[in-house]
């Protein structure tokens, strides 16, 4: 043995060869151990447990799809009352805010000399009638020319026109309401001198009350005259009526179409100019009610709901039918669906999952 060691010391190349061989054997044994340790990991990955998700079975109901618009109430008619004759205001019969009926007196004007001029016109009319009869009698006897007879008829017609003019002047000195309404504004006081065309009052008709709003070009095709609608005022009052007008031309700049909904208001209690949330029912659809907390995003950023079908995740983009204080009503999920309530953020469309059912009666 000592002789072998001495020989190796005399030949160092053999020592290096032996050390190199031992190192190669050590490295090879380490690589084989690494492969052995990696193999269980890959098998472990393949057999990893499925992600658990909690689902709740929801039933669909028949829900009315609606269009929600924002508008305001308007009067059915607005009239600006003006003087038709010159005169002094002698009496005021209606105050601002007062409800009046058609034909009711609003303002009385001084009749000036219209009464006496009417009496004179009537006397002249009788004179012209007598003159025409005399001219016709003479004409039959051949003592009156056709020209004189025509002139007598013209004088008679002029006298009739004067009588009518004086009667209209007297009638127009009493300013009356052209329709049932409310005196919204009065511009004159007793003692004012008016001339022809001066503004006297503004009369508004609030029955029916009209709700005006603008609908988009994509939704206007679903609407038609006579369709039912409801409006909620800022005060909380709910109004019901029917569409009476749909514009045939869109508004410049917005491409929206104006609509009018007529709401009965016989007592005039509902005022014009109030902000209104208008709801227009369109059609019945099967929809489920959920809360926004169960909504999720897909890989493209679309908002929807994740359900489980045959133990696999299915992503359905949202189709909102309507929303209320209890949640959002969505269609497209059929009459029944298993909606993921917990764990939807850890799974994707198509993933196989382990389903844990929520049997509680609480709604989504």
Say what the pLDDT of residue 44 is. 46
- pLDDT at residue 45 above 50? no
Contact by Cβ (8 Å): 308, 349? no
Between CA 101 and CA 201 the distance in angstroms is: 15
Between CA 363 and CA 274 the distance in angstroms is: 36
pLDDT in tens, 153-187: 888 888 888 888 888 888 888 899 999 999 999 99
Between CA 362 and CA 339 the distance in angstroms is: 13
Torsion (CA) 246, 248, 251, 253 in degrees, nearest 10: 130
Task: Pick the closest to residue 305 from 41, 53, 27 (CA basis).
Answer: 53
Say what the pLDDT of residue 26 is. 65
- pLDDT at residue 330 above 60? yes
Let me know if 196 is exposed, middle or buried by CB neighbors in 10 A (0-12, 13-18, 19+). Answer: exposed
Contact by Cβ (8 Å): 288, 305? no
Spell out the alpha helix ranges (H) of the chain: 2-10, 12-46, 114-141, 146-172
Contact by Cβ (8 Å): 78, 204? yes
Q: What CATH number has the domain spanning 52-63+285-357?
A: 2.40.420.20
Q: Which residue has the higher pLDDT, 66 or 240?
A: 240
Q: What CATH number has the domain spanning 82-203?
A: 2.40.50.100
Query: Fold for domain 68-76+205-283?
Result: Elongation Factor Tu (Ef-tu); domain 3 (2.40.30)
Two structure tokens written together for 208: 């029916």
Task: Pick the closest to residue 325 from 232, 228, 252 (CA basis).
Answer: 232
Between CA 312 and CA 228 the distance in angstroms is: 43
Say what the pLDDT of residue 16 is. 63
CA atoms within 13 A on the CB side of 276: 29
The lowest-confidence range among 37-51, 69-83, 121-135, 153-167 is 37-51
**Rg value, the chain, Cα:** 47
Domain ranges of the chain: 2-45, 52-63+285-357, 68-76+205-283, 82-203
Range with top average pLDDT, 20-29, 109-118, 177-186: 177-186
- pLDDT at residue 43 above 50? no
pLDDT in tens, 98-113: 999 999 999 999 887 7
């Amino acid at each position: 043995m000592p002789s072998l060691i001495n020989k190796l010391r005399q030949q160092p190349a053999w020592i290096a060869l032996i050390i190199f061989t031992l190192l190669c054997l050590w490295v090879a044994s380490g690589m084989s151990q690494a492969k052995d340790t990696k193999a269980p990991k890959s098998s472990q990955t393949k057999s990893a447990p499925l992600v658990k998700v909690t689902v709740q079975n929801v039933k669909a109901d028949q829900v009315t799809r609606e269009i929600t618009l924002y508008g305001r109430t308007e009067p059915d008619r607005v009239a600006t009352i003006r003087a038709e004759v010159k005169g002094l205001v002698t009496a005021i019969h209606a105050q601002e805010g007062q409800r009046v009926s058609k034909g009711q007196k609003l303002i009385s004007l001084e009749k000036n000399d219209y009464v006496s001029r009417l009496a004179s016109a009537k006397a002249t009319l009788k004179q012209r009638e007598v003159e025409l009869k005399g001219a016709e009698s003479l004409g039959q006897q051949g003592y009156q020319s056709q020209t004189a007879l025509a002139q007598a008829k013209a004088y008679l017609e002029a006298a009739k026109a004067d009588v009518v003019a004086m009667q209209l002047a007297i009638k127009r000195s009493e300013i009356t309401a052209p329709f049932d309404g409310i005196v919204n504004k009065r511009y004159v006081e007793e003692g004012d001198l008016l001339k022809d065309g001066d503004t006297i009052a503004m009369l508004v008709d609030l029955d029916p009350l009209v709700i005006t709003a603008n609908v988009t070009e994509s939704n206007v095709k679903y609407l038609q005259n006579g369709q039912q609608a409801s409006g909620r005022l800022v005060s909380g009052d709910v109004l019901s009526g029917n569409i009476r007008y749909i514009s045939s031309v869109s508004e410049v700049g917005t491409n929206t179409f104006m609509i009018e909904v007529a709401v009965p208001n016989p007592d005039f209690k509902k005022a014009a100019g109030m902000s209104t949330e208008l709801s227009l029912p369109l059609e019945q659809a099967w929809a489920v009610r959920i809360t926004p907390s169960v909504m999720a995003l897909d890989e493209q950023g679309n908002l929807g709901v994740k359900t489980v079908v045959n133990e696999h995740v299915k992503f359905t983009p949202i189709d909102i039918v309507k929303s209320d204080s209890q949640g959002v009503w969505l269609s497209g999920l059929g009459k029944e669906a298993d909606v993921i309530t917990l764990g939807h953020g850890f799974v994707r469309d198509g993933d196989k999952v382990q389903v844990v059912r929520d049997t509680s009666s609480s709604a989504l």
